[in-house]
Structure 1
């Protein structure tokens, strides 16, 4: 009995010192260590690429329609003329040969040679007189059967007045020695003609040369919507007809109307 007691006391004393040797040892074994938040550094946000600014395209300027300047037409000139030195081949295969020369009033901004060549082309057109047996024509510089003069309005009036014709500074005429073309009509065309001045020149030459080949009278409109005859004074009004610069249609038919003067 005594030994047993001493052994128990000694055991108890030993256990007591072990229990107090480290206060941490008294913590329950099952206790988990306090959780520590991980100190992982949050990654720096990736910088977004800065979009490169494209230069704003400048609007393409719209083309500005340029108005054609109206040619300046002098009212008067010296009354003297320059003769075109050009000469050409005979146009047409039948009928009387008529040689003509072209004259431009001095001081006028027209080439005598260039104008003569344009008139030559008008008379050679397949819808004009020569192509339909109404005569043959040849551009010459001298020894002409008739002359085509282009003159300022005042000079044209003076030349036409010698034939008893009043052209009012606006019209062309046919005289005993040829054709007088008002420069205003040659350059600007006619307010009653729907085509260009270049087209109207065909009408001027075809109409006046028509008188030269013997068609003395003027014609009227052949009916509403029909092409006006070349021998109609279209500048005075179309009366329901359509503007037309040629004596013949595309089918080769002579364009006529009632005789009016």
Structure 2
């Protein structure tokens, strides 16, 4: 297991009827102000830039989750094409190192608002107990055509494998160079037995993978009953700790012993086999 890769298990979600599936596949679309440009599939991304994209049509999406009133749908293998969120409104300042990041959602993911997803990412990264808590760094969302230190992608399981270039499990999230990749399956389903809400798990996903981009390695549970460090692979198991999505607790950077557990990977989701 690569030291900068997060593993996760799926939570079972009851699918919607076929009639809803077909109607959703026809009518759903991604929202967002900027659309990515196609390029050759599998080519490496430029520094800080978007990954190369494929122009082939994606498979018909399948209903995978019901979030609020709208189902979120995606295929097992997306087309590696992206819709980018706009830059956040100016106004926040700081004295620490500035990290600029873009937010992109794969265009085969439907029923999920790109601006809303980007806003949730930004709220997580600028939380008072987030990565900017000690003033040593700033995190600012920029637009698609602006210089960035990394891009955070919400990707289908198959595209996750293309971007991560690690064990092609189609299940976990990862960080690979300037790519911070969140698997949409985990975003809409979470993991079983996590012991906290989906909203808490999503904050963990963002902070853990961005933490890798900021130079953090994996950590272990510091003691039974204590909060898990955000850099623990909480999606594979808590190992006696309790869920925690935050880098800082009570104003202090919260850490555990360096290292990772040899947890088994869950089975692949969807029809892709690697």
Is the shorter-chain TM-score for this pair beyond 0.5, marking a shared fold?
A: yes
Structure 2 match to 1:63: none
Length-normalised TM-score, structure 1:
0.68
Q: Name the structure where strand makes up a greater proportion of residues.
A: 2
Structure 1 Cα separation of the partners of residues 15 and 133 of structure 2: 34
Structure 2 Cα separation of the partners of residues 90 and 167 of structure 1: 40
Structure 2 Cα separation of the partners of residues 175 and 90 of structure 1: 30
How far 1:87 sits from its partner (Å)?
Answer: 2.4
Q: Structure 1 residues 178, 203: CA separation in 2 closer, same or farther (over 3 Å shift)?
A: same
How far 1:91 sits from its partner (Å)?
Answer: 5.1
Structure 2 Cα separation of the partners of residues 228 and 91 of structure 1: 30
Length-normalised TM-score, structure 2:
0.65
Structure 2 Cα separation of the partners of residues 187 and 118 of structure 1: 13
5+ residue gaps, structure 2, are 1-13, 17-64, 67-71, 261-274
Within the candidate set 132, 144, 148, 2:148 is matched to 144
Q: Structure 1 residues 219, 235: CA separation in 2 closer, same or farther (over 3 Å shift)?
A: same
Root-mean-square deviation (CA, aligned residues, Å) is 2.0
Structure 2 Cα separation of the partners of residues 118 and 180 of structure 1: 15
Whether the 8 Å CA contact 1:101–1:144 is kept in 2: the answer is yes
Structure with larger Rg: 1
Structure 1 match to 2:160: 156
Matched residue SS, 1:203: helix
Structure 2 Cα separation of the partners of residues 104 and 145 of structure 1: 17
Q: Structure 1 residues 106, 135: CA separation in 2 closer, same or farther (over 3 Å shift)?
A: same
How far 1:93 sits from its partner (Å)?
Answer: 2.5
Structure 2 Cα separation of the partners of residues 119 and 173 of structure 1: 16
Higher RCO structure, 1 or 2 (CA under 8 Å, sep 6+):
2
Structure 1 Cα separation of the partners of residues 90 and 172 of structure 2: 30
Q: Name the structure where helix makes up a greater proportion of residues.
A: 1
Whether the 8 Å CA contact 1:227–1:243 is kept in 2: the answer is yes
Structure 1 match to 2:178: 177
How far 1:175 sits from its partner (Å)?
Answer: 1.2
Whether the 8 Å CA contact 2:163–2:179 is kept in 1: the answer is no
Whether the 8 Å CA contact 1:156–1:182 is kept in 2: the answer is yes
How far 1:143 sits from its partner (Å)?
Answer: 1.8
Correspondence list, 1:1-261, <5 A: 70-71=65-66, 72-74=72-74, 75-89=76-90, 93-109=94-110, 110-141=112-143, 142-161=146-165, 165-166=166-167, 168-215=169-216, 217-249=217-249, 251-261=250-260
5+ residue gaps, structure 1, are 1-66
